[in-house]
Amino acid sequence: MKKILKKILKFTKFSIIAAIALFIIFISVSVINNKIQLKKESKILNPPGKLVEVNNKNIHVYSEGVGDLTCVFMSGLGNVAPEIDLKPLYKEMSNEYRIAIVDRSGYGFSESSNSPRDIDTILDETRKSLTLAGEKPPYVLFPHSISGLEAIYWAQKYPSEVKAIIGLDIGFPEGYLMESERMKSNLSIMKVQCLFAKLGVHRFLPSLSLDESVLNSNLISEDDKEIYKALTYKNLSS
């Protein structure tokens, strides 16, 4: 009986060591592969708009169209490639209106920032970015999802700069307060996604990282889809 127990313990110990070794090898390969792929993908990531310096970081502002009104599209939480996600909509409008999209820090073609992500800082960066890019208020805001909070706050704090708000399935303060526990859970999931992205694991789980509605859209070109994938893999870790 003692011999059998010794064999079981020996086998268990070997299995644990082997599993740890395989895990370390997998993570190492994943990190190296991610770095190689990021370097390759960087060749197609050419900012289509202007890069302006805000808080010592380059922020990307894309704009097109001519008109008396400037429509500012504001991306939702985790929307890593707003110029592409929102393209089918703003392309229909840019014949009559000026449109502008600010990539928040860590989104799109903008650099990541270590500055606080409170609403005052985010709004300040958005306003400065637009001004430095040559855009002038008043604006018509098109917020999506959680950026509805920024749009509402913008209109309250600087009413002369906001002509109107047209929500694209936006969230309201009351709703987020009511769903605070669910929001905490979602943020926890995003932190795990961020960790996976830093380790390169997200490349092995594309369905958890990439939005199928973007990849399957007939309104988005194949080139833009490749850029979308590259931006997603780059920005999920920020």
Over the stretch 193-230, which tens digit does the pLDDT of each residue have? 778 778 888 888 787 778 888 888 889 899 999 999 99
Preceding peptide of 47 cis, ω within 30°: no
Query: Rounded distance, CA 149 to CA 182, Å?
Result: 17
Domain chopping of the chain, boundaries: 44-235
- For 95-124, the pLDDT digits (tens) are 899 999 999 888 889 988 888 788 899 999
Mean per-residue pLDDT for 149-156?
Answer: 93
Residue 5 has pLDDT above 80, yes or no: no
pLDDT on residue 178: 66
Name the CA dihedral angle for 33, 34, 39, 44, rounded to a multiple of 10 degrees: 120
Cα distance between residue 183 and residue 208, in whole Å: 18
Residue among 108, 109, 87 at smallest CA distance from 99: 87
Fold of 44-235: Rossmann fold (3.40.50)
Confidence of residue 176 (pLDDT cuts 50, 70, 90): low
Beta strands 70-74; 139-145: pairing state:
parallel
